[in-house]
Amino acid sequence: MLKKFSNFTIKSLLIFSGAFAGITILFISIFLFKEGLGFFKKPAVEEGYSLFVNSKNKVEDFDSKKIKEIFDHEITNWSELGGEDVEILLFRMDNIFDYYSDEELGEEYEFLAEKLAEVIKAEEGIIAFVPHQYSPAEYSGVKELSVPNITPSDFFTGKDWLPTATPSPLFGTLPMLLGTLLVSLVAILFALPLGLGVAIYLSELAPEGIRKFLKPIIELLAGIPSVVYGFFGLVVLAPLVQKTFNLPVGETALTGSLILAIMALPTIISIAEDAMRNTPRAMKEASLALGATHWQTIYRVIIPYSKSGISAAVVLGIGRAIGETMAVLMVTGNAALMPTSLFDPVRTIPATIAAELGEAPSGGAHYQALFLLGAILFIITLFISIAAEMISKKKNYKDM
Amino acid sequence: MIVTKNINFYYGTFQALKNISMTMEANTVTAFIGPSGCGKSTFLRLFNRMNDLIDGTRLEGECLIKGKDIYDKSINIDALRKDIGMVFQKPNPFPKSVFENVAYGLRVNGIKDKKFIADKVEETLKAAALFDEVKDKLNKSAFELSGGQQQRLCIARALAVEPSILLMDEPASALDPISTSKIEELIHDLKKKYTIVIVTHNMQQAARVSDKTGFFMLGELIEYNDTKKMFLNPDKEITQNYITGRFG
Amino acid sequence: MNKRTKQKFAFFFFRLFSIIIVGILIAILGFIAVNGLKVINWEFLSGMPKEGMTEGGIFPAIVGTCYLIIGSLIFAVPLGVMAAIYTVEYAGNGKVVRFIRMMTNNLASIPSIVFGLFGMALFVKGLGFGDSIIAGSLTLGLLTLPIIIRTSEEALKAVPESYRTGSYALGATKLQTIRKVVFPCALPNILTGIILSISRVSGETAPILFTVAAYFLPSLPDSIFSQAMALPYHLYVLATSGTDIEASRPMAYGTALVLVVIVLFFNLTATLLRQRLSKNMKNK
Ligand SMILES: Nc1ncnc2c1ncn2[C@@H]1O[C@H](COP(=O)(O)OP(=O)(O)OP(=O)(O)O)[C@@H](O)[C@H]1O
Ligand SMILES: [Mg+2]
């Protein structure tokens, strides 16, 4: 009886564990998207605040970018936005004291909304940034601006990432998307020839003794924590890059790519080597028997034969590079600007999350934007891993 | 053409060939027969130095081809292998098109002239009695051919680089009877131009195609004689037993 | 160029590349070892950070990392091993297994920062653990789950089928067979997976950034719900955002060395153990 019961418990536990392992990844994706997708429901103006203008103001077409430029004094006249030729007057809450004294606003600021309305009515060029609790919306002569929510196209194609700007933060992720791609692809460009070379050496040339020595070395390279790579990059590589190319700073896209290249090497080497070792002996012998040199055999038979394995290695290497966080965070300089050259600082998606999530207020637009970035990263790497699996399963007899 | 003197060959500590001396004439077909594991393939692969690829092997004795010691330091292995074609037990075309398979040997030997390559491919496919069957499939993957066609493709591939010797290790063992007889016919034709050494487990095949036959057992060359004599009236009883199948 | 020369040329580069790889490893490890050894002494290993982390030791970070190792193993090992037993011994070779395997493979490819996000959303915020050892351990546990599942699966599969049939022949039930025969036999190999996980857990920074790691704590953590310092995060802080980065450089070197030694020690142990075991398997 007891035995039956314990058998049953153990079995259920086993099934539960299996199921858990199977669904963890779904669970992760649900959580990321749950937090992330709320982002597109967030108003473009900081939560809890609204913008007001004089009701005579005809300008209708606002978005976060224009608001930011207004408050940065880059747009100074309503005519620039298609309105009357009136100078723009910026108004934040503390400006109220330029118009009224403390007493006039009441002990608990109970007259504040009313007085705000008066100011807005009087100043034709005003734009006021006001918290909801003092909203003057019910008074005449005042118009509340309706700013559309942030759209996915703003998010993916916006070139400015200013998540803490007030009153209207900007969440354009294009610089990070491009930065991530740039750093990862250049890293693979460095790592691929080196990695393939070592893989060829290991699978075709190295005597057994050297192979036995080199394999653990490569595993060690894979084992070094990314923060240590980052540290090494920061204190050795960055100054080196700075000096070599005579740059103002050493923390650049190039530095990131170099570190990532080193980090992607073990993945590339071990997968490519496996693929090449799997080339049938008969293929190799057939080639040699025709008078091909070993090298001709390698690049005319072995590499084409292991093409799918090598492609999988490249894809996984890119995946590793795209997802890498700490090392990149420490060596790329993290400027959220559109990357223009390898010698400029850049910022990647993972680095952005790591650098900003700590400061983003939980549940706010910034926080959700970071989760959305995480979700994007998740999808990219998932896609890459599935692609790699499909590539390496594919037999490439036909298309050579 | 091929002369071996007192060959001993070792895989690590295991001795696979014991004191083998043998002479193979030009433009003849020599067959190697013997029970599995007796060293036929090992011996055959000595002639184009294929055994060099295996770690831990060791060779004693001399192997002369056209009077030159092929294990001499000055020998250019690629050139040697170009001159000695090999056909393997299982058809092993490259995962390339039919055309590229035949052209491969030309390309790796530095020939770039497209016209020459195209002509040569056609010529050798004809010589291998394959051209009519594949002339519409030249750009298809070699894996789309039947097993017998693949094996003839491998023969064509070997012929394209104009070797003088052709080594065949059980070239028909993976094939059906019709493909087998095609290959045997082919061997018969090729004899005019090439020196052929063939390993086979099929006694009739050895009898049909070869001029001389060597019988191996446990790494030793037991008897080497004209094929006719070998099959009708061998010198050794043990050969007789093996050929007539009275042997385990 | 003739083909022999081309070959010499190409092979020269491959040899050179291999030397470069070894060179890179030596450069990184050598650099950290040379600079780190200068600061490492008993006080460094057993003391608290002092003077805005420019002096003193890294004891709380070492302790924190140990807690995280233990915490994540407590969670991931039973779960991972049981999941592996389920897929290998029970689930056969059907769709379920393929699904689980695909999912765990993909889980292994998810960047560690994403685990950090998830851990923050679920454990820190969702379950209300706050920044705590338990939240960090669970997050890291998830991260190592695929490693443990994969190595355990391989270990179980490597147990010869004859052991199982032998046990059944004696009248043992499936569960008894697994418990008495299969599992003990697979244990050494499962162990390599666990050791590998330890190495991974001790080196990861991104997953603990928002789930447990503290910049500086004046005392050791007193419960699983308190924050903790951890070696990798401590190195990150010292390297990038200490009060005085130049002055804390020596501390950073020391921390990096300790971290590398711990991580690579476990890594190497796992590798060697696996080599040894697979040799034994062959000899059987
Ligand atoms: N790569 C190798 N390493 C070690 N021993 C080998 C190797 N290849 C062959 N041998 C051994 O050498 C002996 C001769 O092998 P070989 O392949 O030459 O036999 P064979 O006569 O061609 O047999 P079969 O008719 O089965 O092809 C065998 O005992 C075999 O086990
Ligand atoms: Mg053989």
Between CA C240 and CA C214 the distance in angstroms is: 15
Dihedral angle at the C-alpha atoms of C263, C267, C269, C273, nearest 10 degrees? 160
Between CA C31 and CA A234 the distance in angstroms is: 13
For residues C50 and C247, the answer to whether their CB atoms sit within 8 Å is: no
Which range is least confidently modeled, A382-396, B42-56, B94-108, B109-123? A382-396
For residues B87 and B169, the answer to whether their CB atoms sit within 8 Å is: yes
Atom number of ligand 1 nearest to Cα B89:
27
- Domain for residue C53, yes or no? yes
Residue A69: pLDDT band (50, 70, 90) is confident
Segment B28-77, tens digit of pLDDT: 999 999 999 999 999 999 999 999 888 889 999 999 999 899 999 898 99
Residue nearest atom 29 of ligand 1, based on CA coordinates: B37
Whether residue A397 and residue B95 make contact (CB cut-off 8 A), yes or no, is: yes
For residues B242 and B215, the answer to whether their CB atoms sit within 8 Å is: yes
Residue nearest atom 17 of ligand 1, based on CA coordinates: B41
Contacts of B84 in chain A (CB under 8 A): 289
Please give chain C's pLDDT, 284 residues, in tens.
788 899 999 999 999 999 999 999 999 999 999 999 998 988 889 888 877 777 788 899 999 999 999 999 999 999 999 999 998 888 777 788 888 888 888 888 899 999 999 999 999 988 999 899 999 999 999 999 999 999 999 999 988 888 888 888 888 888 888 888 899 999 999 999 999 999 999 999 999 999 988 888 777 888 888 888 999 999 999 998 867 778 888 899 999 999 999 999 999 999 888 888 877 766 65
Residue C158: count of CB within 10 angstroms of its CB = 13
Residue B228 tokens read as 């006719």
Atom number of ligand 1 nearest to Cα B34:
21
Work out whether strand A170-171 and strand A161-162 pair parallel, antiparallel, or are unpaired.
Answer: antiparallel
Whether residue A228 and residue C256 make contact (CB cut-off 8 A), yes or no, is: yes
- Domain for residue C70, yes or no? yes
* C-alpha distances in Å from residue A174, one per residue of A153, A185, A346: 10, 16, 12
Mean pLDDT of A365-393: 90
Q: Among residues A256, A202, A191, which one has the least CA distance to residue A230?
A: A256
Whether residue B141 and residue A287 make contact (CB cut-off 8 A), yes or no, is: no
Residue C96 forms contact with A (CB below 8 Å): yes
From the CB of B20, is ligand 1 less than 6 Å away? no
Instruction: Kindly give, in sequence order, each residue whose CB lies less than 8 Å from that of residue A189, ignoring residues fewer than 6 positions away.
Output: A257
Residue B131 tokens read as 């051209």
For residues A122 and A42, the answer to whether their CB atoms sit within 8 Å is: no
Whether residue A358 and residue C99 make contact (CB cut-off 8 A), yes or no, is: no
For residues A330 and A230, the answer to whether their CB atoms sit within 8 Å is: yes
Give the dihedral sign, CA A319/A321/A322/A323: positive
The one-letter amino acid at C44: F
Number of domains forming the structure of chain C: 1
For residues A57 and A83, the answer to whether their CB atoms sit within 8 Å is: yes
Cβ under 8 Å to C: B residues 87-126: 108, 110
Residue A44 has pLDDT above 80, yes or no: no
Segment A95-113, tens digit of pLDDT: 888 888 878 877 777 888 8
Instruction: Kindly give, in sequence order, each residue whose CB lies less than 8 Å from that of residue C170, ignoring residues fewer than 6 positions away.
Output: none
Between CA A66 and CA B196 the distance in angstroms is: 86
Q: How many residues does chain A have?
A: 400
Residue A395, pLDDT score: 61
Q: How many residues does chain B have?
A: 248
Residue B248 has pLDDT above 70, yes or no: no
Ligand in closest contact with the CA of B16: 1
Residue C94, pLDDT score: 78
From the CB of B36, is ligand 1 less than 6 Å away? yes
Q: Which of B13, B36, B38, B205 to mutate to test the pocket of ligand 1 (most atoms within 8 A of CB)?
A: B38
* C-alpha distances in Å from residue B236, one per residue of B39, B215, B226, B230, B247: 19, 10, 13, 9, 14
Residue C15 tokens read as 């040899």
Residue A340 tokens read as 């223009």
User: What percent of chain B has pLDDT above 90?
Assistant: 65
Residue B112 has pLDDT above 50, yes or no: yes
Residue C283, pLDDT score: 61
C155-163: long-range contacts, CB 8 A cutoff, minimum separation 24: C155/C84, C155/C186, C155/C187, C155/C188, C155/C189, C155/C190, C155/C193, C156/C84, C156/C85, C156/C88, C156/C89, C156/C182, C156/C186, C157/C88, C158/C186, C158/C189, C158/C281, C159/C185, C159/C186
Residue nearest atom 5 of ligand 1, based on CA coordinates: B11
Q: How many interchain CB pairs under 8 A, A with B?
A: 78
Residue A11: pLDDT band (50, 70, 90) is confident
Distance B39 CA to ligand 1 centre (A): 6
* Max avg pLDDT among A34-38, B104-108, C242-246: B104-108
Contacts of B110 in chain C (CB under 8 A): 2-3
Segment B202-246, tens digit of pLDDT: 888 999 999 999 999 999 999 999 999 998 888 888 998 888 877
Whether residue A31 and residue C199 make contact (CB cut-off 8 A), yes or no, is: no
CA atoms in the 13 A half-sphere facing the CB of C164: 14
Work out whether strand A142-144 and strand A49-54 pair parallel, antiparallel, or are unpaired.
Answer: antiparallel
From the CB of B11, is ligand 1 less than 6 Å away? yes
Between CA B227 and CA B24 the distance in angstroms is: 13
DSSP structural state of residue A99: T
From the CB of B163, is ligand 1 less than 6 Å away? no
Between CA A300 and CA C112 the distance in angstroms is: 39
- φ, ψ at A170 (rounded to 5°): -110, 135
Residue A297, pLDDT score: 95
Instruction: Give the C-side interface with B, CB within 8 Å.
Output: 2-4
Return mean pLDDT, chain A. 87
> Counting Cβ atoms within 10 Å, is residue C232 exposed (0-12), middle (13-18) or buried (19+)?
buried
- Domain for residue C83, yes or no? yes
Ligand in closest contact with the CA of B218: 1
Whether residue B110 and residue C4 make contact (CB cut-off 8 A), yes or no, is: no
DSSP structural state of residue A150: P
State CA C226 to chain mean position distance.
22
pTM of the model as a whole: 0.88
Segment A169-204, tens digit of pLDDT: 888 899 999 999 999 999 999 999 999 999 999 999
For residues A321 and A187, the answer to whether their CB atoms sit within 8 Å is: yes
Residue A119, pLDDT score: 84
The complex's ipTM? 0.93
Nearest chain C CA: its distance from B214 CA (Å): 36
Instruction: For residue C49, give its domain range.
Output: 42-283
- φ, ψ at B244 (rounded to 5°): -85, 0
Segment A371-384, tens digit of pLDDT: 999 999 999 999 99
User: What percent of chain A has pLDDT above 90?
Assistant: 42
Instruction: Give chains near B: 3+ CB pairs under 8 A.
Output: A, C
What 3-state DSSP class applies to B196? strand
Between CA B212 and CA B27 the distance in angstroms is: 11
Residue A33 has pLDDT above 80, yes or no: yes
- Domain for residue C35, yes or no? no
Residue B139 forms contact with A (CB below 8 Å): no
Mean pLDDT of A241-264: 94
Question: Strand pairing partners for B64?
Answer: B3, B69
Between CA A382 and CA A387 the distance in angstroms is: 8
What 3-state DSSP class applies to C49? strand
Residue C38: count of CB within 10 angstroms of its CB = 12
- Mutate which of A278, A279, A281, A290 to disrupt the B interface (most B C-beta within 10 Å)? A290
Between CA B239 and CA B248 the distance in angstroms is: 12
Instruction: Kindly give, in sequence order, each residue whose CB lies less than 8 Å from that of residue A392, ignoring residues fewer than 6 positions away.
Output: A271, A275, A308, A309, A311, A312
Residue A191 tokens read as 């790592």
Work out whether strand A126-131 and strand A142-144 pair parallel, antiparallel, or are unpaired.
Answer: unpaired
Nearest chain B CA: its distance from A396 CA (Å): 8
* Largest Cα span, chain B: 56
Between CA C182 and CA C185 the distance in angstroms is: 5
Atom number of ligand 1 nearest to Cα B35:
25
CATH number at C55 reads 1.10.3720.10
Segment A304-357, tens digit of pLDDT: 999 999 999 999 999 999 999 999 999 998 888 888 888 999 999 999 999 999
From the CB of B38, is ligand 1 less than 6 Å away? yes
Between CA C79 and CA C88 the distance in angstroms is: 14
> Counting Cβ atoms within 10 Å, is residue C87 exposed (0-12), middle (13-18) or buried (19+)?
buried
Residue A396 has pLDDT above 60, yes or no: no
Residue A400, pLDDT score: 39
- Domain for residue C51, yes or no? yes
Residue C284, pLDDT score: 55
Residue B176: count of CB within 10 angstroms of its CB = 12
Residue B101, pLDDT score: 94
Catalogue all structural domains in chain A, each as residue range(s) with its CATH number: 49-152 (3.40.190.10), 174-393 (1.10.3720.10)
Contacts of A217 in chain C (CB under 8 A): 21-22, 25
Residue A384, pLDDT score: 92
Residue nearest atom 24 of ligand 1, based on CA coordinates: B36
What 3-state DSSP class applies to C257? helix
For residues A28 and A50, the answer to whether their CB atoms sit within 8 Å is: no
DSSP structural state of residue C213: B
- Domain for residue C20, yes or no? no
Contacts of C175 in chain A (CB under 8 A): 7, 10-11
Q: Which of B17, B18, B36, B41 to mutate to test the pocket of ligand 1 (most atoms within 8 A of CB)?
A: B41
- Mutate which of C9, C18, C34, C274 to disrupt the A interface (most A C-beta within 10 Å)? C18
Give the dihedral sign, CA C241/C242/C248/C253: negative
- Domain for residue C82, yes or no? yes
Whether residue C259 and residue A381 make contact (CB cut-off 8 A), yes or no, is: no
Q: Provide DSSP, A191-235.
A: HHHHHHHHHHIIIII--HHHHHHHHHHHHHHHHS-HHHHHHHIII
Residue nearest atom 14 of ligand 1, based on CA coordinates: B39
* Largest Cα span, chain A: 102
Residue A397 has pLDDT above 60, yes or no: no
Of A20, A220, A232, nearest to C268 by CB-CB distance is A220
* C-alpha distances in Å from residue C251, one per residue of C46, C56, C217, C230: 13, 8, 16, 14
- Domain for residue C34, yes or no? no
- φ, ψ at B200 (rounded to 5°): -150, 150
Residue B127: pLDDT band (50, 70, 90) is confident
Whether residue A21 and residue C80 make contact (CB cut-off 8 A), yes or no, is: yes
From the CB of B200, is ligand 1 less than 6 Å away? no
Question: C101 versus B123: which is more confidently predicted?
Answer: B123
Whether residue A292 and residue B108 make contact (CB cut-off 8 A), yes or no, is: yes
User: What percent of chain A has pLDDT above 70?
Assistant: 98
